[in-house]
């Protein structure tokens, strides 16, 4: 399969429509005043499982034929993809096998279990996760669904930008957080295919700057032990997401931890909505002066709202 | 003026319409599953100034004639009414004089000042607040707008329930937090006038139980030094709000602090919206088993979303 196009993403949108929320798009007079821009926030924090991840997971699960789905699906994840895949599998009455690090937060374990998935715990290292997943797949015959380096996932995640632009019309600029690049690459395809003049910019934590280095370095430079409060953005670009981002993105900008926290708190206080730190990186890029939005119409995808309420970043010393 | 009726509240709704947000009504599958009810949350946390208080303040300010409004308006408040009155006055280009305790949070002082109001600080006692307000009114000639014991305020606050019921249709039950009774009495009139069979129940912190004692005791028993995290509900019923609540309410139930905190956290975590502790008291009443909602359609007014992000109740020892 070649790089997906807008048509592929529109097909994904049709497939997933009955299973996801059409999330609202919100604006804040206060934040517009502070930034000088006209910002439209696509609120995937209100999405099922509290994050955009359900879009890709449902699309991937519903792309499997009857014979395949009987085998079940499997993945390793300590985050939103695990819950999303578990829920998506349940929509087809299929089994989901999730490998989670034994250090995963209790609330995430409960969520995955609540959707009826079977959890296998492992040591909290990438090697242990991959080894354990391999064993689970060998034993069960389940089909591995990668959290982002998969065209079915990318197409699913790209549907959020279509919904955004269908409602706002043409924008000057869309800013999206970049982790492994599933949401970013899907957004890039959707935005540039719908409005070729609209700029697409990735916002990435300075402390997990692999996409920035890869985008400007001309090949994939993975993250090495990244440390950021934006815990959804720790992963590195894959061989499927990287070329799409290279092709469709105008820029990737880096955002320091203190600006991510400031942006997150601003959205909590002014918009009265809960977003996770990863969602705050695009506004952080604006607040830190890395992106000039004065007089422009901007779309920002708020990727999710799953936060540990015991550990709010402005109450924790770094 | 007699007790206001639905017609008076509908008039208020017309007057304030251009100046307020029509706030959304949200539901949560997760919370419905936990409670067994079908709950519609009227989200006044998304209202201007972050609380329903703007409704009453705008109605009161726009009820003044040209001669009166030139004198300006005045009140004493450390909370949402201060910001609401300041903003409402600015809509008529009028002066607002606000008496605030010198201990008021910096963020509230900044908000009031941001709306162009003139602040006079006083010692943090009710007597000091009343004495200081008296002096301010004598000096400026401004018109005192009481935060709740005023029919113009009550009519303004009652508009939220009209919006709720216009959208949901008939409900079995509406639950509203009770502080001084402005929101509660306005809600009582609206709900019972629109659907006489719909029950109206007030939810009040056990630690600030004056409305409960007054409702069942047959006369006003003010609170004495109440201590609750629901800081919007510290005030006692007034001679205008008490008779309305006695007439229109089916019950008032008390909610302990731990259940208020649990309900607040549940709404934050499941609905991804920020509400202040006062807003959580009605759901707290359900969670604690004080109100049986199984199989019922329930409306809850989420009164506001102004929270000190440094002091979340589940992170503070009591």
Instruction: State residue B318's pLDDT score.
Output: 47
For residues A180 and A236, is the Cβ–Cβ distance under 8 A?
A: yes
Instruction: State residue A181's pLDDT score.
Output: 97
| Nearest neighbour of B46 by CB, restricted to A46, A272, A274 | A272
Share the mean pLDDT of chain A: 95
Instruction: State residue A108's pLDDT score.
Output: 83
Q: What are phi and psi of B17, to 5 degrees?
A: -45, -45
Crossing angle of helices A159-168 and A53-62, in 10° steps, is 120
DSSP state letters, B81-114: HHHHHHHHHHHTT--EEEEEETTS-HHHHHHHHH
- Which among B149, B147, B157 is positioned nearest to B9, based on CA atoms? B157
Q: How far apart are CA B177 and CA B191, in angstroms?
A: 15
Q: Which residues of A touch B24 (CB under 8 A)?
A: 24
Least confident of A199-213, A241-255, B112-126, B158-172: B112-126
Identify the closest residue of chain A to B272 by CA–CA distance: A274
Q: In what helix (H) or strand (E) does residue B175 lie, and over which residues does it extend?
A: strand B173-177
Within B141-256, residue ranges assigned H as helices are 151-157, 159-168, 182-194, 210-217, 241-248
Tokens of A38: 């006209």
Tell whether the model's pLDDT for residue A205 goes beyond 60: yes
Q: Which residues of B touch A45 (CB under 8 A)?
A: 272
Q: How far apart are CA B186 and CA A83, in angstroms?
A: 43
DSSP state letters, B45-91: GGSGGGBTHHHHHHHHHHTS-HHHHHT-EEEE-SSHHHHHHHHHHHH
Q: How far apart are CA A111 and CA A88, in angstroms?
A: 13
Q: How far is A181 from chain B (nearest CA, A)?
A: 24
Tokens of B61: 């300010």
CATH class of B54-144: alpha beta
Q: How far is A56 from chain B (nearest CA, A)?
A: 21
Size of interface A-B (CB pairs under 8 A): 39
For residues B220 and B171, is the Cβ–Cβ distance under 8 A?
A: no
A45 inside 8 A of chain B by CB: yes
Residue pLDDT, tens place only, B190-249: 999 999 999 999 999 999 999 999 999 999 999 988 999 999 999 999 999 999 999 999
Q: How far apart are CA A72 and CA A124, in angstroms?
A: 24
Q: How far apart are CA A131 and CA B281, in angstroms?
A: 48
| Nearest neighbour of A309 by CB, restricted to B268, B273, B310 | B268
Identify the closest residue of chain B to A276 by CA–CA distance: B272
Q: How far is B262 from chain A (nearest CA, A)?
A: 12
Residue pLDDT, tens place only, B52-109: 999 999 999 999 999 999 999 999 987 899 999 999 999 999 999 999 989 888 888 9
For A119, the 3-state DSSP assignment is strand
Mean predicted confidence (pLDDT) in B255-261: 98
Rounded to an integer, what is the distance from CA A146 to the centroid of its chain? 13
Is A54-144 in the same CATH topology as A6-52+151-315? yes
CA atoms within 13 A on the CB side of A192: 18
Strands B25-26, B38-43: parallel, antiparallel or unpaired by DSSP?
antiparallel
Q: How far apart are CA A178 and CA A158, in angstroms?
A: 13
B119 inside 8 A of chain A by CB: no
Every domain of chain A and the residues it spans: 6-52+151-315, 54-144
B239 inside 8 A of chain A by CB: no
Q: How far is B314 from chain A (nearest CA, A)?
A: 8
B294 inside 8 A of chain A by CB: no
| Nearest neighbour of B274 by CB, restricted to A272, A310, A315 | A272
For A175, the 3-state DSSP assignment is strand
Tell whether the model's pLDDT for residue B33 goes beyond 60: yes
Tokens of A306: 């799953």
Q: How far apart are CA B187 and CA B193, in angstroms?
A: 10
For residues A188 and A249, is the Cβ–Cβ distance under 8 A?
A: yes
A315 inside 8 A of chain B by CB: yes
Instruction: State residue A318's pLDDT score.
Output: 47
Q: How far apart are CA A205 and CA A185, in angstroms?
A: 17
Residue pLDDT, tens place only, A163-193: 999 999 999 999 999 999 999 999 999 999 9
Identify the closest residue of chain B to A28 by CA–CA distance: B46
For B127, the 3-state DSSP assignment is helix
Q: What residue ranges in chain A does DSSP mark as E strands?
A: 25-26, 38-43, 73-76, 96-101, 118-122, 143-144, 173-177, 199-205, 251-255, 297-302
A310:B309 CB<8 A = no
Q: How far is B171 from chain A (nearest CA, A)?
A: 25
For B277, the 3-state DSSP assignment is helix
ipTM exceeding the 0.90 mark = yes
CA geometry: angle B248, B251, B256, nearest 5 deg:
135
For residues A21 and A56, is the Cβ–Cβ distance under 8 A?
A: no
Tell whether the model's pLDDT for residue A250 goes beyond 90: yes
The edge-to-edge listing of strands for the beta sheet with A251-255 is A25-26, A38-43, A297-302, A173-177, A199-205, A251-255
Give the confidence band of A78 by pLDDT, cuts at 50, 70, 90: confident
CATH class of A6-52+151-315: alpha beta
B312:A312 CB<8 A = yes
How crowded is residue B62: how many other Cβ atoms within 10 Å of its Cβ? 18
Q: What global pTM score does this model have?
A: 0.94
Q: How far is B10 from chain A (nearest CA, A)?
A: 28
Give the confidence band of B317 by pLDDT, cuts at 50, 70, 90: low
Interface test with B, best of A272, A305, A306, A311 (most B CBs within 10 A): A272
């Amino acid at each position: 399969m070649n790089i997906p196009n807008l048509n592929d993403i529109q097909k994904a949108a049709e497939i997933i429509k009955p299973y996801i929320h059409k999330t609202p798009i919100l604006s804040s007079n206060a934040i517009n005043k502070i930034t000088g821009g006209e910002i439209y926030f696509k609120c995937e924090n209100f999405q099922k499982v509290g994050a955009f991840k359900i879009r890709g997971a449902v699309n991937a699960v519903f792309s499997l034929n009857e014979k395949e789905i009987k085998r079940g699906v499997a993945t390793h994840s300590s985050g939103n993809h695990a819950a999303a895949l578990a829920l998506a599998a349940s929509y087809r009455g299929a089994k989901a096998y999730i490998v989670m690090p034994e250090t995963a937060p209790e609330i995430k374990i409960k969520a995955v279990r609540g959707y009826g998935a079977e959890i296998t715990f492992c040591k909290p290292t990438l090697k242990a996760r991959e080894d354990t997943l391999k064993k689970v797949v060998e034993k069960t015959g389940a089909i591995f669904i990668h959290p982002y380096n998969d065209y079915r996932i990318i197409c699913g995640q790209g549907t959020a930008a279509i919904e955004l632009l269908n409602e706002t019309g043409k924008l000057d600029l869309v800013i999206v957080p970049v982790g492994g690049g599933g949401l970013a690459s899907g957004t890039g395809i959707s935005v540039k295919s719908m409005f070729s003049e609209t700029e697409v910019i990735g916002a990435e934590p300075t402390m997990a700057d692999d996409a920035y280095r890869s985008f400007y370095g001309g090949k994939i430079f993975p993250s090495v032990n990244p440390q950021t409060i934006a815990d959804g953005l720790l992963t590195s670009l894959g061989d499927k997401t990287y070329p799409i981002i290279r092709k469709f993105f105008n820029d990737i900008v880096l955002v320091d931890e203190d600006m991510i926290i400031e942006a997150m708190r601003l959205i909590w206080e002014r918009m009265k909505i809960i977003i996770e730190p990863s969602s705050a990186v695009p506004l952080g890029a604006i607040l830190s002066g890395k992106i000039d939005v004065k007089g422009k119409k901007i779309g920002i995808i708020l990727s999710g709202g799953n936060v540990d309420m015991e550990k709010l970043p402005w109450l924790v010393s770094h």
